[in-house]
Amino acid sequence: LPDVPSPALLVDLDAFEANVTAAAKMLEGTSIRLRPHIKTHRCPSLARRQLIRGTIGVTCATLAEAELMVDAGIGDVLIANEIVAHSHLDVVARLASRARVAVAVDSLAPLQELSRCCTELSAQVDVLVDVDVGLGRCGVRDPEAAAVLARKVVASPGVHLRGLMGYEGRLRRSNPQRTARVELARTRLSQTKAHLEGVGLTVPVVSGGGTSTLRDALSNHTLTEIQAGTYAFMEADLCGLGLPFTPAVSVLATTISGSGNRCVVDAGWKALGCHYGDPVPIGVAAKVVKIGEEHTVLRLHCSRDASPGVGDRLLLRPSHVGMTFALHNRVWLIRAGRVETCVPAGVYAHGGSW
Ligand SMILES: Cc1ncc(COP(=O)(O)O)c(C=O)c1O
């Protein structure tokens, strides 16, 4: 990759495509659909490549991401998060004239505001009532609160009740409460669904789950769609869960200093998402000693001949893919070690309409 200026974010397309296909295979023969969470990459070009058979649109965390996807021509977008500002709800309603749009709701005032915005624009936005299934973040806390909100959706013009959503958070292999947390999420969603249906409401969609619970979701007959995102790139943090995914993301760095068994590369916190641990050098026996904003210092465990010299390049595997993408505004798509194309990523360069 001689012409790629470092630090650069690389996606190995063979690994990415194999992950996308492997996820589709996992869902084959089930009625569960995948709605890839694009907050992981915020890159329309990658989103389009994820929308293969078995997928039904994308999941977003923010309005900016939703707008980015709709502007890129993606026709079915779920904002799996609460949107409350009037100016933002107005944009949600406007997006609905160009795509099928749904949003999560867990309180009344934003729902009423959304209904007003939609009515003014003769738009329709679908709503998923967000249920706290154990993460302790957003979401209503009990089935009756969900029913109160769901009835309001049904009674409000411009909005349509699509169903429920509940995200349990990342449940790692090492979490001793993993089994209990998976079960808690399942029962909270199924009980809430049953409660809503018991009061005469229709709940066609129950959306939730992530990469760490993708396998569990297959035997959980409550979810109708899964919001996994990291699956397409994999992370060491998700190892041990029996997932058929391989790492697809690396950061290209250049050695800018070094002597003896030390080398310093030009990628630090501003190029590598380190939230789940230090980055791991690929193909060179080395360990991270320290990281700064623009630097990573490595201790080399290889012979002098195999050690990178000043100007040599190496690849680092970041621990947190979503945060790594958020640090770059373009991504180099690589196949068999060669650049296939370079595409924009990120919501900041794209801008927003509000
Ligand atoms: C609401 C929601 N759904 C799904 C996901 C996807 O999780 P993952 O990237 O681990 O697949 C996330 C990630 O944080 C999320 O916040």
pLDDT tens-digit series, residues 23-53: 999 999 999 999 999 999 999 999 999 999 9
In the prediction, which pLDDT does 350 show?
67
In the prediction, which pLDDT does 348 show?
72
**pLDDT > 70: what percent of the chain?**
99
**Residue 121 C-alpha to ligand 1 middle, in angstroms?**
31
- The confidence band for 1, taking pLDDT boundaries of 50, 70 and 90, is confident
Q: Ligand 1 within 6 A of 230 CB?
A: yes
**Residue 38 C-alpha to ligand 1 middle, in angstroms?**
9
Question: Average pLDDT for residues 88-110, to the nearest whole number?
Answer: 97
Mutational test site, ligand 1, from 227, 233, 276, max ligand atoms within 8 Å of CB: 227
**Residue 326 C-alpha to ligand 1 middle, in angstroms?**
15
In the prediction, which pLDDT does 195 show?
98
Dihedral pair phi/psi, residue 130, rounded to 5°? -85, 130
Q: CA-to-CA distance for 33 and 230, rounded, in angstroms?
A: 16
Question: Average pLDDT for residues 255-260, to the nearest whole number?
Answer: 93
In the prediction, which pLDDT does 259 show?
87
Q: Where are the beta strands (DSSP E) in the chain?
A: 8-12, 33-34, 58-60, 76-82, 100-105, 125-130, 159-166, 205-208, 225-226, 249-259, 262-265, 280-282, 286-291, 296-300, 313-317, 330-335, 338-344
Dihedral pair phi/psi, residue 95, rounded to 5°? -60, -30
In the prediction, which pLDDT does 180 show?
97
Q: Quick: pLDDT tens for 153-179.
A: 999 999 999 999 999 999 999 999 999
- From the number of C-beta atoms within 10 Å of its C-beta (0-12, 13-18, 19+), residue 225 rates as buried
**For residues 297 and 302, which has the higher predicted lDDT (pLDDT)?**
297
**Residue 235 C-alpha to ligand 1 middle, in angstroms?**
13
Mutational test site, ligand 1, from 35, 38, 39, max ligand atoms within 8 Å of CB: 39
- Of all protein residues, the one whose alpha carbon is nearest to atom 2 of ligand 1 is 167
In the prediction, which pLDDT does 354 show?
65
**Residue 137 C-alpha to ligand 1 middle, in angstroms?**
13
Under a CB-based contact definition with an 8 Å cutoff, are residues 140 and 149 in contact?
yes
Question: Average pLDDT for residues 108-122, to the nearest whole number?
Answer: 98
In the prediction, which pLDDT does 349 show?
65
**Residue 350 C-alpha to ligand 1 middle, in angstroms?**
22
**Residue 191 C-alpha to ligand 1 middle, in angstroms?**
22
Q: What is the pTM of this model?
A: 0.97
Q: Quick: pLDDT tens for 263-291.
A: 999 999 999 999 999 999 999 999 999 99
Question: Average pLDDT for residues 200-218, to the nearest whole number?
Answer: 97
Whether 305 has a pLDDT exceeding 80, the answer reads no
Mutational test site, ligand 1, from 167, 189, 211, 241, max ligand atoms within 8 Å of CB: 167
- The confidence band for 2, taking pLDDT boundaries of 50, 70 and 90, is confident
Region of 222 on the Ramachandran plot (φ > 0 left; ψ -120 to 50 alpha; else beta): alpha
Whether 207 has a pLDDT exceeding 80, the answer reads yes
Whether 347 has a pLDDT exceeding 90, the answer reads no
In the prediction, which pLDDT does 353 show?
72
Question: Average pLDDT for residues 287-311, to the nearest whole number?
Answer: 91
Question: Average pLDDT for residues 205-222, to the nearest whole number?
Answer: 95
In the prediction, which pLDDT does 58 show?
98
